[in-house]
Structure 1
Amino acid sequence: MNGCYCNSQKIFKDCCEPYLKGSKQAPTAEALMRSRYSAYATHHADYLMATTHVSQRDLHSKEDILLWSTCNQWQKLEVLKTTATTVEFKAYYLDTNKKTHIHHEFSTFVQEEGSWYYVDGEYY
């Protein structure tokens, strides 16, 4: 894979990979959201749990995240609109029957002690 999964036009190792490996922290809500998309595409459920805000972690299970990330084939990410704490995006993927889906979400993020966390999302 040359380009990053998050469709940033950067190489994965120079874009989301350092966040997934823990060698860098996402500097913005958008960078975190992009890295979380890459985590779904590369099946990094631990990263997805760690970057979910502690107030929301009980609502998610690592097993469910891993299942959803592995049973879908992630096609591309389209960032529609960002603010300091929100990101609206569309994630395109194929399900196990090769049917195309679009996950359209308006996500909310919070920064605590220098780290960004996903809080929740509204789906369209």
Structure 2
Amino acid sequence: MPTPAVPCPCGLPASYAECCGPFHSGARSAPTAERLMRSRFSAFAVGDTAYLLRSWHPATRPARLDLDPEQRWERLEILATERGGMFETEGSVEFRAHYREGRHTGSLHEHSSFSREAGAWVYVGPLSPVDFD
């Protein structure tokens, strides 16, 4: 886990402790689908598989999640959002997540679906085929 003062991996101008850290620890819930997407990217970046599984819709959640220790998630671009606000129950986020694996760099492009379950936003899955560059 990053130290509290480091910049948050999600790209917002705040420290990890002020931004995604409270979501990962369970102290707060993401208020919007976009914030959940950002917190999930940060969880991939810091290796928090427990949060990734906890924030995944029960109908689509895998039984387990093994992250590649060689893959480093470095930067997130939010390309578009649709619905997913504080007072909505469904939304989508289109994003590009940039990674490094050894000397290779690449990105993952996904348009994701999110819904509220028991008052909390969860990741449902991709709305279209996932594209790795």
Where structure 1 has 5 or more consecutive residues not aligned to the other structure, the ranges are none
Per the alignment, residue 103 of structure 1 pairs with 108
Q: How does 1:17-32 map to 2 (within 5 A)?
A: 17-32=21-36
Query: Is it true that 1:93 corresponds to 2:102 in the alignment?
Result: no
Q: Which amino acid aligns with 2:24?
A: L
For 1:31-61, what per-residue CA distance to the aligned partner results, in whole angstroms no more than 9, with x for missing partners? 000000000011110110011100011xx24
Q: Distance in 1 between matches of 2:104 and 2:63?
A: 25
TM-score (norm 1): 0.89
Per the alignment, residue 114 of structure 1 pairs with 119
1:46–1:62 Cα contact (<8 Å) kept: no
Moved over 6 A (4+): none
Query: Is it true that 1:45 corresponds to 2:49 in the alignment?
Result: yes
1:52–1:117 Cα contact (<8 Å) kept: yes
2:98–2:105 Cα contact (<8 Å) kept: yes
- What is the total number of aligned residue pairs between the two structures? 118
For 1:59-89, what per-residue CA distance to the aligned partner results, in whole angstroms no more than 9, with x for missing partners? x24342xx23x32111100101011200000
Where structure 2 has 5 or more consecutive residues not aligned to the other structure, the ranges are 84-90
Q: Distance in 2 between matches of 1:5 and 1:44?
A: 13
Q: Which amino acid aligns with 2:74?
A: Q
Per the alignment, residue 35 of structure 1 pairs with 39
Task: Please provide the CA RMSD for this pair.
Answer: 1.3
Higher helix share: 1
Per the alignment, residue 54 of structure 1 pairs with 58
Q: What percent identity do the matched residue pairs reach?
A: 38
